Every structure is written in C-alpha cells, then in structure tokens.
Structure 1
Amino acid sequence: MPGQPRRSPVVHREGMEGLLERARELLGDGRRRVLGITGPPAAGKGRLADRLLRRLEGNAVLVPMDGFHLAGAELRRLGRQDRKGAPDTFDAAGYLALLRRLREQGEGDEVVYAPEFHRSVEESYAGSIAVPSDVPLVITEGNYLLLDQGSWSGVRELLDECWYLAPDDDKRVERLIARHVRHGLSRERAREWVLRSDERNARLIAGTRDRADLVVRGDIG
C-alpha cells in the first residue's frame, strides 16, 4: 500500500488465475485502489490489463500511461521525435496529476476523464476514458511506473500494488519488431528502431523492477 516500507518483490508462479485473485483482493472494502502493471516494451502489459478488466466484470477501469505521450508536433519542436517512447517524451507530470485525482475521487464525485493513445495515428485523444466514482479499482499500465526520476518518482506511492512483467527477452523483442511492422515500418527499419530506441528504454526499465510488489516471469497463459 502507498506509504508502507518496500520489500523485495515476490516472484509470481501461479498463472492468470493467481493474478486475478490478487487483483480481486484489492477490491476489498470497495474503496478506490490503483493497480499498476509495468515492464519493458512488448512485455504484455496491455494484454494482461485487458484480461483482468474483462474478468473483473465492471469493478475496474483501465487507464494506460500511454495516453500521456507528447503529441508528434511537440516532439518535433523539442527534437525528440527519433526516440519517441523515452521517459522525456511523455507528460509525466500530467499522468501523476491524473493518478492523484483518481485516488482522491470519492463516491458521488464527478466522472474523471483520461486520455487514450491510438497507435493507428500515433496520437492521444483527450477525454476518451471515463472513470466513474463508484468503480473500486483503477488499473494503469505503462513502462515507467517504477522509474525514480523527475515527476515519474511520484507515481509509485500512488499505486496500491505494482506488478513487473518479465517475459523471455528474445520473444519480447520479436513481438516488438512485429508490432512496428504492423504499424507501417519495414522489418529492417523496425528492427533498427527496436535495438536503438526501445531496447535502451527496456534497460532503463529493468533497473526499476526491485521497486515492484510482484515480478511475473514468462508469458501469462
């Protein structure tokens, strides 16, 4: 829970059902809880979050970190377009402010709206995700939930739990290359981008795993 001393993360070995049961325990007394899911690019964060969302049957809302990507025009202005996905290509302070608002949202309060990133256009749309006040669990997933620098350093204390996904790296890199190919890059260009940019970010993210409550090894079946 936020504010409590950190212990070494537990290594999870119980598959999807065990993770689902752990998420259900967060529902507890019905108060608002926030579950973070993090790990390197293409670790399966969004896939796991979507599966939890379906199984929790209306008791959770998914608010991805990716909604806080800086717009393409702003990345070009800053000269950062060639490394989109690095920590300084997000509005980290905005994401932190949204998490605080979600934690403080009480029953009967107005709906909170969050942005959503659309890979088809590589941009975020504001006000896309509605979070009603009576939903007890917010699931948020993204690369930098455990990063201890700048505004990112405030995120960890707003998460009741954070899980770190650690799949096989060779399989993860192949998934990442395939993702970029699906979104229009040649395989050669996709591989260059992954090895130059995405894997540099992955190494940074790997250094944050000890701040997690749970490390999930391998792919979740």
Structure 2
Amino acid sequence: MSYQAQEDTGVPIQFNSDQISELSERIQDLSTRKANFADRLIVLIAGVPGSGKSTVAYNVCKALNSQQLKTEVLPQDGFHYYREELGKFDNPEEAIERRGAPFTFNSRAFLNLISKLNDPTNKNIDILAPSFDHKLKDPVEEDIQISADTKVIIIEGNYVLLKDPIWSEISHIADDTWYVEASSEEVRLDRIIKRHLAAGIASTVEDARARAMGSDQLNASYIVENSQTPNVIVKN
C-alpha cells in the first residue's frame, strides 16, 4: 500500500525538484517502514509531457546509488506498441497519429512486468525490461536489466497514475506515488519542442511546436483530468 501523505491527511507533500537530498531521504525512510525490505521498493513518478519527471527520476536514482541503496529507473516508454502493431488497430491512422496517447501503450504488459518485479519470489533473480529507441521509433526488448540486488525501482511515465482500467492497478502495487509539475507552461512546451527535434520526431521548429500543441497537449490535458492524487508533488 502506498506511503501515506503527511499526517495521513491525503494532501500531497510538496518538494522542489532541487530538493534531491530530501526526496531521496523520503525513499530511505520508506525503506525502514516497509516490513520486508528484502523485497523491492517501487516508486511511481508521473507527470505531463515535458514536466521533467525523467530528470527528477534519474537525479533521485543517482543520489540513492551514491548512498549505497541500489536503485534503477524503469521508463514507461519501452511499452509503446510497435509501429507494426499500431498498423493492425481498428483505426491505424489514428493510432499512428496519436502515438504516445494511453491507448498506444501495452498497459497490460507494463502491469505484468511491474507485478513480476513486486513478486517476492522473484527478488533473487535479474529481470529484463524493454527500452525505447527513438531512432528506430520502436521498443528494444530486454534492454534494461533490473538486477537481483536492486532495492528501489523508480518507474517513470506520463500515465503511471491514471485512474483508467489496468493503469490504475499499477499504483496499487507501488509503495510511493509522485507527480512532477513544470514551473511554467512555456518551459514545458520548450522542453517538448527541443525533445522532438533531438529525437527526429519533427524536422523543423514549426513541426515540433505543432505536435507539442496538438497530440502532446491532448495527452497532457488527459493526464491532468484523469490522474489519481499522488503522495508527493514535485515542483520542477
């Protein structure tokens, strides 16, 4: 069950993204509260596109590893449906155009892997997970290794706190839930535009901006309207 917010009020605790020490201390504290910390600890980090959740996840991961608490980050991106799979959807044109929306991810496979990571009978084995190659524009199977000695797994992605069927089951497994908010809409959009250009998703600033204001904005609105209340809000 998720780590309760301060004094069990249900109100998220707030941090700034530069409070990496405090955020990592929270996870360390949680590790002492969990009855069987021989099992893996799972922390979810959600947020809209461009919020900075990946940066927060990797910064906290680095801090915990420096303190000898073996931590890995598992991105949601590896669970995109392959382009070949999207081509077999009832409306393949829509699926390809909206790639990155919740329905274009294999949420069941994602949930199954997280359940496997959380299963105490698997705590002494390495588990492999897919990554996502932006050049190939498809997942790469078994590209991320969660080793047997990993104590903390930070799972980051846009949709890990959705209320939707299947997605909502992920938070039931997690020990803590975080939501990252960008400092401003301008900063968030600028990050997305630069990301699209760097990944080759768009060839011009105009195309990148159009995508950011189109499909990405639809996804962002959906996340805001349909996500569960987190234990922690990180202002980035």
TM-score norm. by structure 1 comes to 0.90
Residue 15 (str. 1) matches residue 19 (str. 2): yes
Instruction: Give SS of 2:155's match.
Output: strand
Q: Which residue of 1 aligns with 2:220?
A: 202
How many Å separate the matches in 2 of 1:41 and 1:144? Answer: 10
Q: Which runs of 5+ in 2 are unaligned?
A: none
**Aligned runs of 1:1-221 on 2, under 5 Å?**
1-2=1-2, 7-13=10-16, 15-28=19-32, 29-57=37-65, 59-78=70-89, 79=92, 80-106=95-121, 109-167=124-182, 168-184=184-200, 185=202, 186-208=204-226, 210-217=228-235, 219=236
Q: What is the number of equivalent residue pairs in this alignment?
A: 218
CA distance in 1, matches of 2:171, 2:210: 32
Quick one: which amino acid aligns to residue 197 of structure 1? S
Q: Which amino acid aligns with 1:200?
A: L
With normalisation by structure 2, the TM-score equals: 0.85
Residues 100-153 of structure 1: per-residue CA shift (max 9 Å, x gap): 110114476321111111222221111111112331111100001111112112
Change (3 A) 1:107 1:26: farther
The letter for the 2-side match of 1:41 is P
| CA drift at 1:40 | 0.3
Asked if 2 retains the 8 angstrom alpha-carbon contact of 1:111 and 1:131, the reply is yes
Runs of 5+ in structure 1 lacking a partner? Answer: none
